[in-house]
């Protein structure tokens, strides 16, 4: 056998077996039953802990969190929830917040320390901030490249058609380094589903990038917009390259209507992101998965102008998704775990993800026996390895 | 000034002030601005941590949890949820579980370590287990009397009218030492609201005890049963002595109907317990509080035959209640905290509760700045004091 850089011994895999993992050049090169002879340079004893792939944080906002900053009390909208008013509050809050660079780093440390090693972050692009937020987050991403892989979505937080100059800004954002183009409530915010999607899909085609659209629209309006996104995705051959974040509307539909829509989403190869919000409808995770839809998870906002919740722990998110979905059996709890790991990797089109020979050695150890127990107990005391290198332990990023 | 046993210095109270607390004979005898001269025998530096009263675990099942035992995968009902089938599964699981005594102790340690110092536990009383579970839990309670105060509810898990001999068993349970009489779904389980409540209220009157009824009934059926409980409570002058646990039906009502029912509940002085379940309706906490209803919280089941969730942390429960209720502002987050502290104390009719001169020195320190932040961040690293004595730290009960 070839000499590997590091042998991770006594790791409990998700199937319950105790194994040793040989890692060379940041990749898993062999997985053998625990205790086989080895010729590694270094040995790391996993001590029987559960070893799982790094969590996939599929939806976060690195630019707008106040995590690590002072406490900013939530300010309610004047007359019920209003996205435009919230964006205005956010602008006020941001003006007095700590530098974005510092806040983004605090948030990244929080996520990495708990085991997220892959991330998709939306970054606001609009007439007020222009490309400044994206420039900041691109620089932070570069600094964190050895700790976490980050995809950035150019996110039109103020709409596309309602916010003059935004199509050009999104175009410039993609030229500058954003990896995906975003969208926001084509009907309820921009009042023009066709016009909004023309810009989003046009830019995706021009730059050869994927799409991830925020869609908060409820009930049949949300379903209509989803149908339109499905139709364009199929027409352009973009199956596997489009995600819809939130998609609350699916959760408002009767089960038969939801199932028909889910079949259409699956056929279009569109992934659905949910954070399992607390007090309103959200996509039916089991039904969508049954129909073949890739459902992935994200923290969404962490302690920002939209809400005070969020802890950056995708294992906790799996628990929340399970709790909100009525997942009780081992198979259901494992599905919630899949949402924040393998399904997330599929949605983000990550290559070489997982605990397998050839995959990147990005993994997390959990002091517990198996995945269902991990989901309901959310153990801390984790160790986080990126490319086989220990990057976080006991809740802290190591530097 | 009199010489106190212990001075707790540099404690941040919930109003933000830094104070010293003098404790003598297990009670708070003085609260003074931090740094005033003192003549205490012992000093404990709280180090600026937030000091809050011990959490009130208002609804738990000490007899049926598998926490600390082996993992028992959840078994779904054959044809949709069925209480009778679940009770049968529970009986099967209990037959092969670790001794109840050990499981109850594990669960108590879990709760105390996180700061619960007052508890109400339901204990199953029916034809199958008779009084055996109650006898076991009474003995455990005696062993834990210096760590936590526990009220026990004689809980007819198999119904009262449908389970021959149960009225006599409940009577015997109250004679044996149960503190309250319970009930279970008078309409949907026992099919006789009047007959069920005749037994429950009759036993309460006979023994001079309070009532805490499990009510899972949905929508207008649940509302009907609640109205009947209200009417009897008022007729018997038992205002302040009756609680309804779960009361899911209130959450199914339209806001105007819910508000009318809430006013009636408030007028009857009935407390409502919720654990903020994940995937179905539950009582509207803000609406009930607005109408003057005491809403208290509980873990309910922790990893048992009913579901795999639960961690015994009432601060986490406050977060879940807030998350599920759409509580975002500081006032709302503080309300969620009140549910697991002061409101719980009112529901359990605890005397001398709180951080006040004359109150029992039962408190928890949280390494955080204020209550709203505590609710969304759920900090660990707590110290738990019962009667001024350190009983748990860093997640472990000290012995």
Q: Over chain B, what HEC string results?
A: CCCCCEEEEEEECCCCCEEEEEEECCEEEEEEECCCCCCCCEEEECCCCEEEECEEEEEECCCCCCCCCCCCCCCCCECECCHHHHHHHHHHHHHHCCCHHHHHHHHHHHHHHCCEEEEEEEEECECCCECHHHHHHHHHHHHCCCCCEEEEEEECCCCCCCCCCHHHHHHHHHHHCCCEEEEECCCCCCCCHHHHHHHHHHHHHHHCCEEEEEECCCHHHHHHHHHHHHHHHHHCCCCCCEEEEECCHHHHCCHHHHHHHHHHHHHCCEEEEECCCCCCCCCCHHHHHHCCCCEEECCECCCCCCCCCCCCCHHHHHHHHHHHHCCCCHHHHHHHHHHCCHHHHHHCCCCCCCCCCCCECCEEEECCCCHHHHHHHCCCCCEEEECCEEEEECCEECC
Q: How far apart are the first and last CA of chain A?
A: 33
Cα nearest neighbour of B380 on chain A: A380
- Please answer yes or no on whether A323 and B279 come within 8 Å at the CB atom: yes
Whole-angstrom CA distances from A285 to A243, A248, A291, A292 are 15, 11, 10, 11
Task: Give first-to-last CA distance, chain B, whole Å.
Answer: 33
Question: Model confidence at B399, in pLDDT bands (50, 70, 90)?
Answer: confident
Contact: B372, A71; criterion CB under 8 Å: yes
Do A370 and B303 make contact, defined as CB atoms within 8 angstroms?
no
- Tell me the domain boundaries of chain A: 6-53+353-397, 55-347
H/E stretch holding A296? strand A295-297
Is B326 part of the contact surface with chain A (CB cutoff 8 Å)? yes
Q: Considering only CB atoms, which chain B residues are within 8 Å of A377?
A: 311
Q: How far is A237 from chain B (nearest CA, A)?
A: 36
Closest-CA residue to B244 (of B295, B188, B172): B295
Task: Supply the Cα-derived Rg of chain B in whole angstroms.
Answer: 21
Minimal Cβ distance to A303: which of B71, B320, B376 = B376
Q: Rounded CA gap, A164 and A325, in Å?
A: 40
- Residue B307 Cα, gap to closest chain A Cα (Å): 6
Q: Looking at chain B from residue 161 to 220, which residues have their Cβ under 8 Å from any Cβ of chain A?
A: none
Contact state of B369 with A71 under an 8 Å Cβ cutoff: yes
Distance from CA of B364 to the nearest CA of A (A): 21
Confidence at residue A201, expressed as pLDDT on a 0 to 100 scale: 98
Nearest CA in chain B to A308: B328
What is the fold, at CATH topology level, of the domain defined by A6-53+353-397?
Urease, subunit C; domain 1 (2.30.40)
Reported as a pLDDT band with limits 50, 70 and 90, residue B2 is low
- Cβ contact B73–A308 (<8 Å): no
Q: Is B316 on the interface with A (CB under 8 A)?
A: no
Q: Which two tokens mark B54?
A: 């011990």
Tell me the nearest-neighbour CA distance from B333 into chain A, angstroms: 9
Q: Do A206 and A172 form a contact (C-beta atoms < 8 A)? A: no
B211-266 per-position pLDDT tens digit: 999 999 999 999 999 999 999 999 999 999 999 999 999 999 999 999 999 999 99
Instruction: Please give the pLDDT value at position A136.
Output: 98
- Asked whether the predicted pLDDT for residue B183 surpasses 70, the reply is yes
Question: Which of A74, A330, A394 to probe by mutation at the B interface, max B CB count within 10 Å?
Answer: A74
What does the alpha-carbon distance between residue B37 and residue A179 come to, in Å, rounded to a whole number?
62
pLDDT at residue B41, as a whole number = 87
pLDDT of residue B381: 95
Interchain contact, B329 vs A75, CB within 8 Å: yes
* Sites in chain A below the pLDDT cut of 50: 1
How many whole angstroms separate alpha carbon B63 and alpha carbon B61?
5
Alpha-carbon gap: A53 to the closest alpha carbon of chain B (Å): 23
Task: Report the alpha-carbon distance of residue A34 to residue A12 in Å, rounded.
Answer: 9
B85 touches chain A (CB under 8 A): no
- Residue-level pLDDT at B386: 98
Q: How far is residue B350's CA from residue B341's CA, in Å, rounded to a whole number?
A: 11
CB contact under 8 A, A319 and B309: yes
Query: Looking at CA atoms only, how far is residue B66 from chain A in angstroms?
Result: 12
Choose among B74, B326, B369: nearest Cβ to A328: B74
pLDDT, position B82: 85
| Burial of B145 per CB tally in 10 Å (0-12, 13-18, 19+) | exposed
Inter-chain touch B376–A323, beta carbons under 8 Å: no
Percent of chain B with pLDDT over 90: 93
Q: Which residues from A are below 8 Å from B372, CB to CB? A: 71, 73, 308
Complex-level ipTM: 0.97
* pLDDT tens for each residue of B94-112: 999 999 999 999 999 999 9
A266 to chain B, minimum CA–CA distance in Å?
24
Interchain pair B71, A328: CB under 8 A: no
Please, which residues bridge with residue A246 across strands? A215
Specify the pLDDT at position B3: 77
Nearest-CA residue of chain B relative to A376? B309
Q: Are B279 and A326 inside 8 Å of each other by CB?
A: yes
DSSP strand pairing (B27-33 vs A363-366)? unpaired
Question: Which residues touch A282 (CB under 8 Å, ≥6 apart)?
Answer: A246, A247, A248, A251, A274, A275, A276, A324
List, as ranges, residues 279-308 from A with C-beta within 8 Å of B: 279-280, 303, 307-308
Q: How many CB pairs under 8 A join A and B?
A: 75
Half-sphere exposure of A315 (CA within 13 A, CB side): 28
CATH number of A55-347: 3.20.20.140
Q: Is A226 touching B (CB cutoff 8 A)?
A: no
Token pair listed for B236: 């018997």
Question: Average pLDDT of B50-70?
Answer: 96
pTM for the whole structure: 0.97
Å between B210 CA and nearest CA of chain A: 32
Interface test with A, best of B65, B86, B376 (most A CBs within 10 A): B376
pLDDT at A258: 98
Find the CB nearest B278 among A74, A324, A372: A324
pLDDT at B104: 98
Residues B88 and B370: their CA atoms lie apart, in Å, by: 45
Contact B23, B57 (CB under 8 A): no
- What is the model's pLDDT at position A399? 84
């Amino acid at each position: 056998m070839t000499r590997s850089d590091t042998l991770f011994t006594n790791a409990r895999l998700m199937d319950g077996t105790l194994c040793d993992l040989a890692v060379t050049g940041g990749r898993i090169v062999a997985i053998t039953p625990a205790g086989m002879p080895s010729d590694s340079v270094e040995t790391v004893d996993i001590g029987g802990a559960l070893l799982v792939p790094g969590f996939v944080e599929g939806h976060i906002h690195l630019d707008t969190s106040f995590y690590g900053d002072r406490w900013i009390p939530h300010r309610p909208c004047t007359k019920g929830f209003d996205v435009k008013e919230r964006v205005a509050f956010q602008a006020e809050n941001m003006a007095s917040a700590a530098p974005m660079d510092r806040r983004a780093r605090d948030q990244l440390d929080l996520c990495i320390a708990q085991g997220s090693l892959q991330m998709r972050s939306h970054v606001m692009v609009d007439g007020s901030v222009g490309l400044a937020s994206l420039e900041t987050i691109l620089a932070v991403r570069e600094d964190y490249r050895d700790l976490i892989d980050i995809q950035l979505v150019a996110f039109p937080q103020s709409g596309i058609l309602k916010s003059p100059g935004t199509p050009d800004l999104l175009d410039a954002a993609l030229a500058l380094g954003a990896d995906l183009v975003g969208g926001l409530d084509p009907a309820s915010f921009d009042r023009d589903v066709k016009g909004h999607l023309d810009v989003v899909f046009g830019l995706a085609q021009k730059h050869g990038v994927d799409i991830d659209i925020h869609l908060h629209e409820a009930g049949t309006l949300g379903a209509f917009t989803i149908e339109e996104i499905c139709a364009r995705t199929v027409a352009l051959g973009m199956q596997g390259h489009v995600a819809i974040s939130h998609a609350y509307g699916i959760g408002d539909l009767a089960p038969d209507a939801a199932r028909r829509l889910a079949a259409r989403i699956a056929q279009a190869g569109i992934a659905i992101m949910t954070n399992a919000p607390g007090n309103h409808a959200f996509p039916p995770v089991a039904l969508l998965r049954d129909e073949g839809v890739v459902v992935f998870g994200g923290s969404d906002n962490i302690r920002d102008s939209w809400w005070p919740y969020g802890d950056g722990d995708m294992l906790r998110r799996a628990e929340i998704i399970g709790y909100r979905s009525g997942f009780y059996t081992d198979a259901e709890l494992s599905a919630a775990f899949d949402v924040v790991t393998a399904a997330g990797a599929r949605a983000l089109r990550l290559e070489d993800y997982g605990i397998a020979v050839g995959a990147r050695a990005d993994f997390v150890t959990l002091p517990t026996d198996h995945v269902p127990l991990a989901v309901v107990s959310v153990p801390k005391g984790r160790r986080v390895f990126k490319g086989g290198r220990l990057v976080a332990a006991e809740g802290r990023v190591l530097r």
